[in-house]
Amino acid sequence: MSEKVKSKKRGAGSKNPTAAAIIYVVAVVLLVLPITEWLGNAPREFGTSPELSFLNLPARLFALVGFVLMFYQFILGIRLPLLEKVFPRATNLKRHRMLGKVAFVLILLHAVMMLSYDYATFGQLLFERYRVIGMIAAACLVVGVVAAWFFKPLKLPTKAWRTLHLLGYVVFPLGFYHANSLGTEVITGEWTVQRPFTLFLIIYAVLLLYRIAIAVRTWSSGRTQPSG
């Protein structure tokens, strides 16, 4: 095996196996917590109606998992120095893209299935404030993902791509507001869903401010560079 291949394989692993193990355990626990809450509610509700059993319940599970994965993909894409001391940047970005795709599919399925559930149950789409916020979040997610995935085929100008990509940053807080207002598991699971999701939002806001500060500092230093 060539040294280049060996180096590539070493780069794909963790720089600190102990820290990596702790991160994996915490990530799995935070993902399992909302799932356990859903599993506690699902048996009592399954069979109540076909719409609830095959549209509402799966949609709620997709939203819970999708929300957690969306948080993870944000963390992996923010380029945190502490995280990059544990995993190579290339590994983090690869996982960022993978989790982003899975989260997108789950959130999109949630939106379609919940709209179908509302129509099947009430004979119409409901436009209450909390539902509309969820629709806006889903629409922003779709636009942001399309801009990211089809940047080259659409031949988008860089400025337009960046503007559309920024829509992705409003999806998480809008999704939290939507879930905190309507989500069954958020309401029933204070310690398994509500508090962890609130913690996610706080961390998200802090890291977003950190990213903005870095961007502003980089932009300012670029403007103050003497011209050649």
Whole-number Å distance between alpha carbons of 60 and 65:
9
**What class, spelled out in words, does domain 3-224 have in CATH?**
mainly alpha
Q: How far apart are CA 155 and CA 91, in angstroms?
A: 27
166: CB partners within 8 A, 6+ apart: 144
The pLDDT of residue 9: 46
Rounded Cα gap, residues 185 and 60, in angstroms: 8
Rounded to whole angstroms, the Cα distance separating 59 from 52 reads 10
**Domain definitions of the chain by residue range:** 3-224
Cβ atoms of residues 110 and 59 within 8 Å:
yes
pTM to 2 decimals? Answer: 0.88
- For the stretch 154-184, pLDDT in tens is 666 777 677 777 778 899 999 999 999 989 9
